[in-house]
Amino acid sequence: MTVLTTRTDDERDDLTVAVPTGDLDALADELDALYHEVRADLGAADAAYIRRVIAAQRGLEAGGRALLLLSRYRPALVGGVALLTVAKILENMEIGHNVMHGQWDWMRDPQINSTAWEWDAVSTARSWKHAHNFRHHTFTNILGKDRDLGYSAMRVDPEQPWHPIHLLQPLYGVGMALTFEWGIALYDMELDSVRRGEKTAAQARTDLAAFARKAGRQVVKDYVAFPALAGRRAPRVALGVLAANVIRSVWVHTIVFMGHIPDGAETFGEEQLEGETRGGWYRRQMVGSCNLEGSPLFHLLAGNLSFQIEHHLFPDLPSSRYARIAPRVRAVCERHGLAYNSGRLGRQYGSVARKILRLALP
């Protein structure tokens, strides 16, 4: 028997759920089999899908920017911002995030490849991959280890110690959403770990220099070089691009916060990691993640992170496959008596907002 200590979202006493070890091994076998089945089935249609999304994204980006250059006409300005926003969302979510997870490495394409991809964001692919693929996906929902659980700024779990600063979290939570792209870039460098001696100052300097180069190029592109093409209307164009970047930040922030924080998602103490088997890891990913329900277009714009459970079980399976395996993952959950947490965006958003407000208080 493996004893798992789990914490629920509210102030109830810790629940101790006993799951027979054999069941966890069976869970691991079932999910491994599903993974290998999908891997073996990947082919030309999957490759065509990601190429189509990439082509569409670049078309939207080019179209959006072309419209922005005509921004003296108000509809062109609005349309330009809209197209560019959608392009930037697709680039970060369905393309960048998923390519950098290695979801498309099986194609052996030299560009659409986790080792080669660089995304349209101020954080470097290298730094993000370490923070996200390694830390967040390995230590998902382990308090004190999963740095993405509230990003050390928000108190999103009652087990996280309260500090008077948290009284302001509803306020700075909004600020965080607006500047999420920049916040993530800085946070993922883990500069705080230099103080604790977990990272050398030299390494921190290297990371900062890489960030400065990347962010510099991004800023020059979006706010200097491209607006300059509009001549004296450059400030207007720059504002248009800023709007697209900010809307994208808010959208990404929204989807990310719906992944592990809504009511029902379980968090764990560090003791969970001791002797955790593959089945235990799968179980933690399942009960710690929350899906969002919506139309195919919604899933596309969410980078299929709306299938957060499937993504956390199989981070390197192509995102386009998550929808198809979701009913089977749900069936596995039900067979093993595990919660499959899923809801529409509005409901999940409300639950996260309530939690942030409630946990602002001690």
Partner 1 sequence: MAEVGARPRVPAARRAALRAARAFFTPLLPDDYLELINPLWSTRELRGRIERVDRETADAVTITIRPGFEWVGHAPGQYLRIGVAVDGVHHWRAYSITSDPGRPDGFISITPKLLDSGVVSPFLVKAARPGAIVRLGGVEGTFTLPDPLPPRVLFISAGSGITPIMSMLRCLERRRGLDDVVHLHSARTPQDVIFATRLRGIAQSHPGMVLHERHTDRHPRFTPADLEELCPDWRERATFASGPGDLLDALVDHWGAEGDPQRLYMERFQPVISGDDAGGGAGGTVRFLRSDLQAIADGGTPILVAGEEVGAVLPFGCRMGICHTCVGRLCSGRIRDLRTGEVAGTEGEVVRTCVNAPEGDVVIDL
Spatial CB neighbours of 168, under 8 Å, sequence gap ≥ 6: 360
Segments in the chain forming alpha helices (H): 21-41, 44-69, 74-90, 98-100, 125-129, 137-138, 169-178, 180-187, 192-195, 201-219, 226-228, 234-260, 278-288, 296-301, 308-313, 322-335, 345-358
Report the residue number, 26 or 66, with the smaller CB distance to partner 1.
Answer: 66
Closest CB 111 distance from partner 1, rounded Å: 8
Residue number, 223 or 322, with CB nearest to partner 1: 223
Using the rule CB under 8 A, which residue among 21, 111, 200, 203 binds partner 1? 111
- Asked if 209 interacts with partner 1 (CB under 8 A), we say no
Per-position x/- string for 219-258, each x denoting binding to partner 1 as judged by CB under 8 A, each - no binding = -xx---xx--------------------------------
Count of other CB atoms within 10 angstroms of residue 221: 13
202 touches partner 1 by CB under 8 A: no
Closer Cβ to partner 1, 150 or 318, answer by number: 318
Per CB under 8 A, 106 contacts partner 1: yes
Q: Does 212 bind partner 1 (CB under 8 A)?
A: no
Which one, 111 or 152, has the nearer CB to partner 1? 111
Which residue stretch of 104-112, 267-275, 282-290, 302-310 sits at the interface with partner 1 (rule: CB under 8 A)? 104-112
Q: Rounded to an integer, what distance in angstroms lies between the CA atom of residue 147 and that of residue 128? A: 12
Rule CB under 8 A: say whether 62 interacts with partner 1: yes
Among the listed residues 44, 201, 202, 297, the single contact to partner 1 using CB under 8 A: 44
Of the residues 23, 25, 32, 109, which one makes contact with partner 1 according to CB under 8 A = 109
Helix axes 74-90, 234-260, angle to 10 degrees: 40
What number of residues does the chain have?
362
Closest distance to partner 1 from the beta carbon of 195 (Å): 26
The count of chain residues that interact with partner 1, using the rule CB under 8 A, is 31
Instruction: DSSP for 139-172, please give it.
Output: STTBTTT-TTSGGGTS--STTSPP-GGGGGHHHH
Q: What is the rounded distance in angstroms from the CA atom of residue 184 to the CA atom of residue 31?
A: 31
Closer by beta carbon to partner 1, 141 or else 319: 319
In the complex, minimum distance from the CB of residue 140 to partner 1, in angstroms, rounded to a whole number: 22
Candidates 137, 135, 139, 253; CA nearest to 188 is 135
What span, in angstroms and rounded, lies between the C-alpha atoms of 300 and 53?
Answer: 9
Sites for partner 1 among residues 113-152 (CB under 8 A): 113, 115-116, 118-120
Contact 217, 185 (CB under 8 A): no
Name which position in 15, 55, 174, 212 contacts partner 1 (CB under 8 A). Answer: 55
Q: Does 310 bind partner 1 (CB under 8 A)?
A: no
Query: Quick one: tokens of 330?
Result: 């749900």
Q: Residues 90, 60: contact at Cβ < 8 Å?
A: yes
Quick check: helix, strand or coil at residue 245?
helix
In the complex, which residues of this chain contact partner 1 (CB under 8 A)? 42-48, 55, 58-59, 62, 105-111, 113, 115-116, 118-120, 214, 217-218, 220-221, 225-226
